[in-house]
Amino acid sequence: MLASIDRQPAQLRLQEAQASLRLARAQAVERELNYQRQKRLLAAGSVAQSVVESALASSEQAKAEQVRAQAEQALAHRELDRTRLIAPFAGRVVARHAQPRTVLPAGQVVLDIESTAGQEVVAAIPLALAETLKPGDLARASSTADGTSGFDLALEGISPRADDGLVRTAVFRVLRPASRLPSGITLLVQMHPDTGTQPLSVPVQALWMGTGSNSAEVFVYQPGGTVALRSVSLGTVKDGRALIASGLAVGERVVTAGAAFLQDGETVTLFQPGTRLTGGTQ
């Protein structure tokens, strides 16, 4: 719970609505019994038809009053629930726009909260560049122009609307920052930080899922003929291959077959094909 207002008036209105509902239910039962009694008397010839019709109308009126009382109780419950401000997700308060015990107008912003889950970076992308991007594309963010002390991003999505006809808003997921970033800071975002190389990717069967949704482990072949278990950060998965955001270098080899039966440091032998195609047809 983030905040609350005085709950006593709402609790009293709820008690009043509950009492009205109990009274309405009792009246509905009493008038229904009277209607049934008048029907029996009519069958015995003891009362006129008009008396039965009046009892029926009274019973229907009591039922309608019961429905109205139920609605009033539901509204009172809703009013009581709205005396408390509940956080929509797990997070922390980062700004307070009102002081305790002050009178506020309807719609007043009281608190700013941010999630404790994975962080996101919002950036303005030029229209021409936005047309070439797709979810999963990698980027580099830093707080300095030379890109030092930066971290990797993966594109989550791009708004279809162009702001001022010049840029589109893009949302990036932070892959592996050095530490949790303070909210509200300004960053420099560079798409395709190394345009001369393609992002690394491995077959999904080479992955062992790690502790987080964006991390995994792979067996990397070592020069001595052994394998080493290594943690990697993942980008998107497409067509059976997973983009590697960090953790592997160009030229390293990973185990893609039989990884489920290996252990860290185990000796392995590289697969060598037993046949080779030549110029003739065999």
pLDDT digit string (tens) for 94-124? 788 888 878 878 788 888 887 777 778 899 8
Give the Å distances, CA to CA, from 220 to 62, 238, 251, 256, 265: 78, 22, 11, 10, 10
157: which strand partners? 171
CATH of domain 3-85: 1.10.287
Is residue 247 within 8 Å of residue 233, measured between CB atoms?
Answer: yes
The b/e string for 157-196 (b: 16+ C-beta within 10 A; e otherwise) is ebeeeeeeeebbbbebbbbbeeeeeeeeeebebebbbeee
Asked which of 143-147, 172-176, 263-267 is least confident by mean pLDDT, the reply is: 143-147
Mean pLDDT rounded to a whole number for the chain: 82
Q: How confident is the model at residue 275 (pLDDT cuts 50, 70, 90)?
A: very low
Query: What's the CATH fold of domain 201-261?
Result: 2.40.420
Higher pLDDT, 194 or 207: 207
What superfamily in CATH does domain 120-191 come from?
Efflux pump adaptor protein, beta barrel domain (2.40.30.170)
pLDDT per residue as tens digits for the range 150-178: 788 889 999 988 877 778 899 998 887 65
Q: How confident is the model at residue 281 (pLDDT cuts 50, 70, 90)?
A: very low
Q: What is the dihedral of CA 234, 235, 241, 247, to 10 degrees?
A: -40
In the chain, CATH 2.40.420.20 sits at 201-261
Phi, psi dihedrals of residue 143, rounded to the nearest 5°: -100, 5
